[in-house]
């Protein structure tokens, strides 16, 4: 029975943790893009994003990570023999990378608050794909364990995932170009005199 409780809350922790990681970097993107806004909107937006980032990191993302880790330890305590499995070693390596990513987000958050972040919105969009890739790999390892499929279906699914990521990036680029084009058109319209 303990195994089922640990597994249930491990899954809840994973969902909360990843939701936080996905949204946190999206807030970083908006935070960086707020720099292009005129005052006072720039300051208002940056202050609001800073508050949202801190709350998301402290109240949702970090507790989600801690629940995930605590429940994983609980799971391993009920089945210690699984620690000998190669798939788990690989999965744990990805989890360690994910924990590093989590803490790197904290560093970026501090840089944004101090106006010292060197990342552009495009770079942050690419960074935002990292937890998605790690989530896919971790789930595949947890489901298939040592029998990770390498047939044509698996490669087809992998291709769809890559195509989806590329489509999202292209859509974001198009939206940015449309916004820049609209801004240029608006700036060319002669202002009416009062």
Residues placed in the known binding site for heme: 10, 91
> What token pair was written down for 180?
């820049």
Quote the CA–CA distance of 109 and 112 in Å, as a whole number.
Answer: 5
- List binding-site positions: 10, 91
DSSP 125: H
In degrees, rounded to 5, the angle at the alpha carbon of residue 95 between the alpha carbons of residues 91 and 98 is 140
Give a three-class secondary structure readout of 34-102.
HHHCCCCHHHHHHHHHHHHHHHHHHHHHHHHHHHHHHHHHHHHHHCHHHHHCHHHHHHHHHHHHHHHHH
Q: How far apart are the first and last CA of the chain?
A: 76
């Amino acid at each position: 029975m303990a195994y089922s409780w640990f597994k249930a809350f491990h899954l809840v922790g994973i969902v909360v943790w990843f939701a936080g990681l996905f949204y946190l970097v999206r807030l970083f993107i908006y935070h960086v893009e707020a720099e292009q806004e005129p005052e006072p909107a720039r300051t208002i937006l940056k202050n609001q994003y800073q508050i949202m980032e801190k709350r998301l990191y402290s109240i949702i993302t970090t507790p989600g990570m801690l629940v995930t880790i605590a429940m994983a330890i609980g799971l391993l305590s009920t089945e210690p023999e699984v620690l000998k499995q190669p798939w788990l070693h690989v999965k744990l390596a990805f989890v360690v990378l994910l924990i590093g990513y989590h803490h790197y987000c904290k560093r970026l958050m501090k840089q944004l608050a101090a106006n010292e972040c060197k990342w552009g919105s495009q770079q942050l969009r690419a960074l935002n794909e990292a937890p998605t890739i790690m989530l896919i790999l971790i789930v595949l390892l947890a489901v298939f364990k040592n029998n990770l499929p390498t047939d044509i279906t698996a490669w087809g699914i992998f291709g769809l995932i890559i195509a989806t990521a590329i489509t999202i990036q292209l859509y974001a680029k198009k939206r940015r170009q449309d916004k820049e084009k609209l801004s240029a058109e608006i700036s060319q319209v002669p202002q009416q005199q009062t």
